[in-house]
Amino acid sequence: MTELQLLKTKTINDTWSSPSKYWAERRQLRHFNARTIDEAVRLLTEYTEEATVIAGGTDVVGLMRNRVISPRALVNIKTIPDLAYIKEDAEGLKMGALTTIKDVATSTIIRRKYGILTDAARSVATPQIRNMGTVSGNLCQDVRCWYYRRPPVTGTTFFCRRKGGEFCYAPVGQNAHHAIIGGKLCHAVSPSDMAPALIALGAKVVVVGATGERVIPLEEFYTVFGNILRPHEMIVEVRIPTPKNEIRQRYLKFRYRKAIDFAISSVAAVISMEGKAVSDARIVLGGVSPTPYRAIKAEEVLREKTITHSLAETSAKAALEQAAPLSMNAYKVSITEALVRRAIVDCNS
Amino acid sequence: MDAIVPGGFMMVNEQVAVVLTVNGDRFELMVEADWILADVLREKLGLTGTKMMCGEGACGSCTVLIDGEPVPSCLTLAVECQGKDILTIEGLADPVTGELHPLQKAFVERSGMQCGVCTAGVILTAKALLDENSNPTEDEVREALAGNLCRCGNYKRITECVMVAAEMMRGGVRNA
Amino acid sequence: MPEEFSVLGKSLPRNDALEKVTGQAKHVADIALPGMLYAKFLRSPHAHAKIVKIDTTRAEALSGVRGALTHMNVPKVHPKRKFEYLLDETVHYAGEEVAVVAAETKEIAEEALTLIEVKYEELPAVFDAEEAMKPGAPLVHPEYGTNLFHGTSEQPVPRCGSDGWLRLEDGDVDKGFAEADYILEGIYETPMQHNCSPMPRSVVCQWNGDKLTCWADTQNPMYAWQDLAKCLGKPQSSVRLIVDYPVGCYGGKEPEKIAVLVALLAKKTGRPVKAVFTREEDFIATHHRTNYKAYEKIGVKKDGTISAMSHRMITNAGRDCTRFWRVPACSAAHTCGHLYRWQNFKWEGCQVMTNIPDHNSFNGFGDSEAGFCVERLVDEAAEKIGMDPVEFRLKNCARPGDRAINMDTVMVGSATSHDRSLEAMKGPIEWGVFGTDYQLEECLRRAAEKAHWKEKWKGWHTPMEVNGAKRRGIGIAIGTHITAYRRYAATVKMNHDGTANVLSSATEMGQGCSTAMAQVVAEALGLHYDDVSIQFADTAATPAGFGNVGSGGTSSAITAAKYAADDARQQLFAIAAAMLRADSEDLASADRRIYVKGQSERGVSIAEVCFRAYQITGTAVNPPPETIVDEKTGKQIYDHAGAVTIAEVEVDTETGQLDVLRITTAHDCGRAINPIIVENQIDLSVTQGNGWVRSEEYIVDESTGVVINPNLLDYKIMTILDMPKHGDLYEIVVESPCAWGPFGAKGMSETAITTQAPAIANAIYNAIGVRVKGAHLTPEKILEALAK
């Protein structure tokens, strides 16, 4: 075997006698129906890292099944009343944490003013999952990587950095679907559709925990290895500020199939216009980075300019300037550039 | 007790009582926190009409209706289904007369299935569509069934059967 | 379809539909027996390793565990003629079973796995076929001496040289290439594909004393049963395999070692045992379509004559040769051997063993792979001489009466060749012919007409439409595949009420065999469709038959049922004749009655005859294939079907996105017993053929040999939105009765899949002017091809 092969194989477990090192063994699990936010926070505080919030469950149940996580307590927040709502007020749009993706996709309020959210929501997974999945759950879902999520039933798990190991398998392995930008220690991708769209709209999340409430811009919510929620915290609301100017918005999602799949690459563009010129632009990429990726350089290209096809192209190239594709995913760079360009052009028409 | 004792007893998960209302019948049983509805339906209640093809919500075969909405039962915890109305394929025909639902009739008459594993999920998802939209276009049918995989490739016939059933439900004349 | 049939040719509702729409159809995974235990498998993380130590003591001590098996306590037998033992001391692919435990619940069984101690010594492994062929490459089975599979002493492949290459020649290709005006060549690849059977592998076993009952989800009940009995060392008479509602097998769904292991556990524990794979296990520990690398060369003359074709095909067999030499033999004999009227022909190929899961005969085996290579090259040839691709195929495609060869001609390994001597098998190729049912020409004409080829094809290098970055193109491909006619038996048991039960070792896995069989038997006997009930695959009751492979359900199983029905009818007539004081030859049957022809009032009900006779049982065995002979030439008619597909696509040249807008597939099927089911079956092959190259990627990690995407999110099969709409998918059923099948019907559907990938690839070429010669037509690969 070559040195590279040896490097790859040495961190694969070769005995099953110490499972907790490589995957989460099944433990005694208790399920709690929280009746209030306070109760939920209390439970989360009691169990700290060993508790997991379950909303729609469309990600959590899969993660448990594949032994990626093994909580001791599941804190069900679906039993908390008045957490599913879509309402407009002077400040903007507010969505409760338990608002389902289906509700977002079919909301007339959202379609009227924030069509990018409608498109993003409609593109999520399957109709069945949209019926169950919630906005907060979609934002908190774990990254996608077939090394990270591989279940022990296959005989092999990969003890990667996300699990406490010292290695990321993607750069030396099968990485056609992995990150092309923003990946260094980890090259998994953030699969959420709602996150890029909401970040492009300047959304904030309201988080409640043992230390009280805090309001966090969604673009500051994510880290390479997860999000900034402390173990005792949960999202209760997502807020979108009323746009100051007229906005044009577009969500484009590229995937192999026309349903079910996560994005190979997605682009959320929200462009504010003042007359014919761009007053503000927010362009966020999904599926290409361990977190939603704000393409700041692309935005700078557009500011105070009139959008032309060639400007859109320049902006698209700028978006991917920092791209560092792996051995198999350079094609994602081409696709993402095309999507950014098209999203900008669509916003202009 | 949350560690495995070597050579001894397997750790036991706490079981809680739950009442499930399935196809109008009431079931009282003990379930563990992480038991999924699909397994409980199939193995504890003997309702094997709900099929498990992928176990991760990617295929739609395990779809059941909960309060009229199609959901993946492989991603639904049984313990969270208390107080909800669950409809499986076994409950679709008329409970008294046994008469088939128009979707079931259409699928029988027009060969809407081949191996039959996706059928329960497809029919229940289609039922939810037709309950909400009695005159769907072909595109609306396809969108509604976007999350139902059919490895036998019977999509064309499935679409046809749903449209035929819709017509039956509207009281229209069926094309043979 | 002539009106003379009362049941045949009608799109009657399937006779398994009711239980499927009400959720009553029980699959093996649904079986629950009192006291049943659950089995779970421990799998190897390494692709090639020796098990230095394996210890299940702690696992067996866990409360609720009832038994465990490892290589140390199972018999040293070879399930399905494999090199490996049932559980082997050496593992040969990542994910292979090394131990199995049975416990009271699934959870306990899973926990028990974590208590099994295994120490591996890793061995060098190889995953790529061409790498495995190189001298000095790690040997998958060192005792065999080579990675090139060339048969075993038990099952030799006489035409395979000792170097592992099988060579076929007809004419002189060097001379043929010299005579060509143009020579084109290329290297083509085809991808692996996984069956993705809707229900993963499942087996239940229960002993009653020394008698075993095994329920398994398989399409080859007879072989599975015989193999099971052999491995257990039991007589076949005391082993009973029941296959109820197997599911979407699509070629190569066999429980092999799982059935044996579960049977052993059931014996050891004294309890019934059930094993159901998870979807991940099904991906990594069953079978898949092998991948090909093909070096193709064609010589054409300006008038379109193919003066020579030569093929060199390398297939990756995986860690063992379960399917023997069938897959490449199909390529050699059918698509390469007789699809086109070439003047000179040469084929050489090899099967290379590597440390990945082994392959099997998935839908359209051998011909899909070869077709994807050959049809892309043929398209280039047509382009080179500036000929319309439909015209080129019309000129060169095989016709009825043309000489043909069968995969059995190429290798030993099927039931027919038991009769032949090995010496004969090494000799020159024995060419048979196609019967009048081989209708490639009509398929071409009708497909071209339905697809409006003349209007849509604008010529070489001219896409149908250009819309900014999006370009539309149209392409065509033809294909062929066997529709296995083999020895097969059936029994028709008449009941006192005049209804009939058919006993057959075929299986209803969704393809409609049960319905078609009932229609044929009802037609043959003069009964109503609902009078006939099919009892499939219960080895205690159903007579011999290979199951359902190679589109053999109609060709073989239903043929046997028809012969058995004819036999029953003869017996009925004999008795009716006495009752009616007439001669048997003057009798006819229809509408549940037997009557004198021309005097329909002079008759008697079939029920009455059955009651009188006490028991009428019709039995039959299909005459051997060698007896199906062409009247004119006296040569054996080979059991094949032809298909043509025209595909319209749209490619987004900036993202590589491929949309397939319209598919027209024509398929010759002898006679459509149930037209709707025939169309559904064509749709199956169309959908799987599309998925194969457009989105399904069976990815084996190059350095570890691990299947990296063993789930239905990462292994992407076509969704409803990815397939053309109802009005854009056309199935053309071409009928021309064949010489062997029931009422002239023959097996079908697999042939259609052989034409999907190349039609799409050729359409892509028309759209974007770039030929994709690699394995996949995914956005990634299309962009790659555009970039070059």
pLDDT average, residue stretch C678-697: 97
Q: Rounded to whole angstroms, how far apart are CA atoms C288 and C698?
A: 9
Inter-chain residue contact C118 with A16, CB threshold 8 Å: yes
pLDDT average, residue stretch C159-183: 94
Each residue of A184-224: pLDDT tens digit? Answer: 999 999 999 999 999 999 999 999 999 999 999 999 999 99
Q: How large a percentage of chain B has pLDDT more than 70?
A: 90
- pLDDT at position A281 is 97
pLDDT average, residue stretch A55-84: 96
Total count of residues recorded for chain B? 176
C3 falls in which pLDDT band (50, 70, 90)? low
Size of interface B-C (CB pairs under 8 A): 185
Q: Is the dihedral of CA A239, A244, A247, A253 positive or negative?
A: negative
- pLDDT at position A2 is 52
Q: How large a percentage of chain A has pLDDT more than 90?
A: 86
Q: How large a percentage of chain C has pLDDT more than 90?
A: 88
- Of residues A152, A169, A170, the one with CA closest to residue A11: A169
Residue B140 has pLDDT above 50, yes or no: yes
CATH class of C17-25+486-627: alpha beta
Give B-chain residues touching A127 at CB under 8 angstroms: 70, 125, 143-144, 146-147
A156 falls in which pLDDT band (50, 70, 90)? confident
Asked whether the beta carbons of C638 and C337 are under 8 A apart, the reply is no
Tell me how crowded residue A72 is: count the other CB atoms within 10 A of its CB.
Answer: 16
Q: Rounded to whole angstroms, how far apart are CA atoms A187 and A175?
A: 8
DSSP string, A227-261: ES--TT-EEEEEEEEPPSSEEEEEEEEE-SSSSSP
Asked whether the beta carbons of C420 and C430 are under 8 A apart, the reply is no
Q: Rounded to whole angstroms, how far apart are CA atoms B100 and B92?
A: 7
Residue A127 has pLDDT above 90, yes or no: yes
pLDDT average, residue stretch B148-169: 98
- pLDDT at position A342 is 98
- pLDDT at position C719 is 98
Each residue of A295-332: pLDDT tens digit? Answer: 999 999 999 999 999 999 999 999 999 999 999 999 99
CA distance A88 to chain C (A): 34
pLDDT average, residue stretch A151-164: 90
Each residue of C258-300: pLDDT tens digit? Answer: 999 999 999 999 999 999 999 999 999 999 999 999 999 999 9
Residue A229 tokens read as 């929620």
Q: Least CA distance to A125: which residue of chain C?
A: C713
- pLDDT at position A20 is 45
- pLDDT at position C420 is 56
Residue of C162 and C698 predicted with greater confidence:
C698
Sheet containing C90-91, strands listed edge to edge, beginning at the edge strand earlier in sequence: C90-91, C49-55, C117-122
CA distance B109 to chain A (A): 27
Pair type for strands A73-76 and A51-54: parallel
- pLDDT at position C244 is 82
Inter-chain residue contact B48 with C26, CB threshold 8 Å: yes
**Closest to A176 (Cβ–Cβ): which among C119, C656, C780?**
C780
Q: Rounded to whole angstroms, how far apart are CA atoms C411 and C428?
A: 12
Residue A15 has pLDDT above 80, yes or no: no
Residue B36 has pLDDT above 70, yes or no: yes
Mutation for testing the C interface, residue in A3, A5, A9 having most C CBs under 10 Å: A9
Lowest mean pLDDT among A41-55, C538-552, C581-595: C538-552
Phi, psi of C423 (to 5 degrees): -60, -45
Residue A53 has pLDDT above 50, yes or no: yes
- pLDDT at position C748 is 82
Mutation for testing the B interface, residue in C690, C720, C726, C748 having most B CBs under 10 Å: C720
Give A-chain residues touching B32 at CB under 8 angstroms: 29
Give B-chain residues touching C27 at CB under 8 angstroms: 48, 51, 117
Residue A249 has pLDDT above 70, yes or no: yes
Residue C561 tokens read as 């049922």
In whole angstroms, what separates CA C602 from the centre of its chain? 48
Give C-chain residues touching B144 at CB under 8 angstroms: none
- pLDDT at position B6 is 42
Name residue A244's amino acid.
Answer: K
- pLDDT at position A219 is 96
Q: What angle do CA C95, C97, C101 make, to 5 degrees?
A: 130
CA atoms within 13 A on the CB side of C50: 6
* pTM beyond 0.80, yes or no: yes
Q: How large a percentage of chain B has pLDDT more than 90?
A: 88
Residue A14 has pLDDT above 90, yes or no: no
pLDDT average, residue stretch A336-349: 96
Q: Rounded to whole angstroms, how far apart are CA atoms C94 and C100?
A: 16
3-state secondary structure of C286: coil
**Closest to B36 (Cβ–Cβ): which among A61, A125, A260?**
A61
**Closest to B10 (Cβ–Cβ): which among C26, C62, C510?**
C62
Inter-chain residue contact C722 with A257, CB threshold 8 Å: yes
Look up tokens 């990667």; give the residue: A160
Q: Rounded to whole angstroms, how far apart are CA atoms B141 and C147?
A: 51
Residue B176 has pLDDT above 50, yes or no: no
Residue B108 has pLDDT above 90, yes or no: yes
Inter-chain residue contact C655 with A12, CB threshold 8 Å: no
Size of interface A-B (CB pairs under 8 A): 93
Q: Rounded to whole angstroms, how far apart are CA atoms C407 and C280?
A: 33
- pLDDT at position C422 is 62
A237 beta partners: A96, A206
DSSP string, C78-108: -GGG-SS-SS-SEE-STT-EEEEEEESSHHH
Sheet containing A293-294, strands listed edge to edge, beginning at the edge strand earlier in sequence: A246-254, A265-274, A277-286, A293-294
Q: Rounded to whole angstroms, how far apart are CA atoms C507 and C601?
A: 40
- pLDDT at position A24 is 63
Residue A261 has pLDDT above 80, yes or no: yes
Residue A12 has pLDDT above 50, yes or no: no
Q: Would an 8 Å CB–CB cutoff place A255 in contact with chain B? A: no
Residue B37 tokens read as 């509805």
The CATH homologous superfamily to which domain C31-123+203-275 belongs is Aldehyde oxidase/xanthine dehydrogenase, a/b hammerhead (3.90.1170.50)
| CA distances in angstroms from A6 to A11, A37, A240, C91, listed in the order given | 9, 50, 50, 19
Give C-chain residues touching B42 at CB under 8 angstroms: 30
pLDDT average, residue stretch C236-241: 97
Q: Which long-range contacts (CB under 8 A, 24 or more apart) does B6-11 make?
A: B6/C58, B6/C115, B7/C57, B7/C58, B7/C61, B7/C62, B7/C115, B8/C61, B8/C62, B8/C63, B9/C62, B9/C63, B10/C62, B10/C63, B10/C64, B10/C107, B10/C108, B10/C111, B11/A26, B11/A27, B11/A28
Residue C598 has pLDDT above 60, yes or no: yes
Residue A305 tokens read as 């300019």
CA atoms within 13 A on the CB side of C543: 19
pLDDT average, residue stretch B139-166: 98
Parse chain C into domains and list their residue ranges. Answer: 17-25+486-627, 31-123+203-275, 168-179+288-412+420-484+633-785
> Identical fold at C31-123+203-275 and C168-179+288-412+420-484+633-785?
no
User: Catalytic pick from C179, C750, C780, C784?
Assistant: C750
In whole angstroms, what separates CA B36 from the centre of its chain? 13
Q: Would you give the DSSP letter of residue A178?
A: S
Asked whether the beta carbons of C622 and C505 are under 8 A apart, the reply is no
Numbered residues of chain B with Cβ closer than 8 Å to any chain A Cβ: 1-4, 11-14, 16, 32-34, 36, 55-58, 60, 63, 69-72, 74-77, 79-80, 125, 143-144, 146-149
CA atoms within 13 A on the CB side of C749: 34
Share in percent of chain B as helix, strand, coil (round to 5) = 35, 15, 50
C309 beta partners: C298, C345
Inter-chain residue contact B75 with A30, CB threshold 8 Å: no
C584 falls in which pLDDT band (50, 70, 90)? very high
- Of residues C488, C775, B80, the one with CA closest to residue A32: B80
**Closest to B11 (Cβ–Cβ): which among A28, A126, A258?**
A28
Residue of B123 and A10 predicted with greater confidence:
B123
Residue C710 has pLDDT above 50, yes or no: yes
Name residue C315's amino acid.
Answer: T
Residue C412 has pLDDT above 60, yes or no: no
Total count of residues recorded for chain C? 788
Q: Rounded to whole angstroms, how far apart are CA atoms C99 and C265?
A: 11
Q: Identify the CATH number of the domain defined by range C168-179+288-412+420-484+633-785.
A: 3.30.365.10
| CA distances in angstroms from C400 to C271, C339, C455, listed in the order given | 57, 11, 29
Inter-chain residue contact C279 with B56, CB threshold 8 Å: yes
Each residue of C331-381: pLDDT tens digit? Answer: 999 999 999 999 999 999 999 999 999 899 999 999 999 999 999 999 999
- Of residues C222, C467, C480, C483, the one with CA closest to residue C337: C480
Asked whether the beta carbons of C434 and C398 are under 8 A apart, the reply is yes
Residue C750 annotated among the catalytic residues of the structure: yes
Q: C712-733 burial, b for 16+ CB within 10 Å, e for fewer?
A: bbbbbbbbbbbbbbbeebbbbb
Look up tokens 């484009």; give the residue: A252
As for the ipTM of the complex, it is 0.96
- pLDDT at position B7 is 45
pLDDT average, residue stretch C419-442: 80
Name residue B114's amino acid.
Answer: Q
Q: How large a percentage of chain C has pLDDT more than 70?
A: 97
- pLDDT at position C363 is 95
Asked whether the beta carbons of B46 and B110 are under 8 A apart, the reply is no
| CA distances in angstroms from C103 to A82, C61, C117, C574, listed in the order given | 45, 11, 18, 58
Q: C357-387 burial, b for 16+ CB within 10 Å, e for fewer?
A: bbbbbbbbbbbbbbbbbbbbbbbbbbbbeeb
Q: Least CA distance to C704: which residue of chain A?
A: A9
**Closest to C712 (Cβ–Cβ): which among B9, B59, B110?**
B59
Q: Least CA distance to A330: which residue of chain C?
A: C780
The domains of chain B, with CATH numbers, are: 3-91 (3.10.20.30), 102-170 (1.10.150.120)
Q: How far apart are the first and last CA of chain A?
A: 56
Each residue of C303-337: pLDDT tens digit? Answer: 999 999 999 999 999 998 877 888 999 999 999 99
Look up tokens 């398998």; give the residue: A169
- pLDDT at position C50 is 96
Q: Would an 8 Å CB–CB cutoff place C237 in contact with chain A? A: no
- Of residues C643, C651, C647, C656, the one with CA closest to residue C690: C647
DSSP string, A292-303: -EE-HHHHHHHT
- pLDDT at position A10 is 47
Asked whether the beta carbons of C96 and C44 are under 8 A apart, the reply is yes
